[in-house]
Amino acid sequence: EAGVAQSPRYKIIEKRQSVAFWCNPISGHATLYWYQQILGQGPKLLIQFQNNGVVDDSQLPKDRFSAERLKGVDSTLKIQPAKLEDSAVYLCASSFPASLGAFFGQGTRLTVV
């Protein structure tokens, strides 16, 4: 079974530039999550989708971050404009609805300089 796929693996951008991350969840997983993991900290949930609807985006900085999930499958997370404090690993995870286990991708390491 293929895992959660994310791209790119690494990205370096200058502050005020924009960046987009892509995630392809495990086939059949209706729930998709985007987490931000700052170095030395636990993952922090940014947004949670159920199919293509948003379940929770309470911790998403909506002035600069946006996310969408087209047709309830792939998802993109965008940052515009980026700030230095956005430097982190962005993790995508997926699970079956009401399932207990969430499976994570390898993440995208973003460095903002």
Partner 1 sequence: QQQVKQSPQSLIVQKGGISIINCAYENTAFDYFPWYQQFPGKGPALLIAIRPDVSEKKEGRFTISFNKSAKQFSLHIMDSQPGDSATYFCAARNSGAQKLVFGQGTRLTINP
Residues that bind partner 1 in the complex, under the rule CB under 8 A: 4, 31, 33, 40-45, 48, 55-56, 91, 93, 97-98, 100-107
Q: What does the DSSP 8-state code read for residue 40?
A: T
Distances (CA, A) of 83 to 24, 68, 92, 97: 26, 21, 20, 33
Question: Shortest distance, CB of residue 81 to partner 1, whole angstroms?
Answer: 27
User: Residue 42 CB, nearest distance to partner 1 (Å)?
Assistant: 4
Kindly tell me which of 107 and 112 has the beta carbon lying closer to partner 1: 107
Residue 16 vs 38, nearer CB to partner 1: 38
Adjacent-strand bridge partners of 95: 31
- Phi then psi dihedrals of residue 100, to 5 deg: -85, -35
Smallest gap from Cβ 55 to partner 1, in A, equals 7
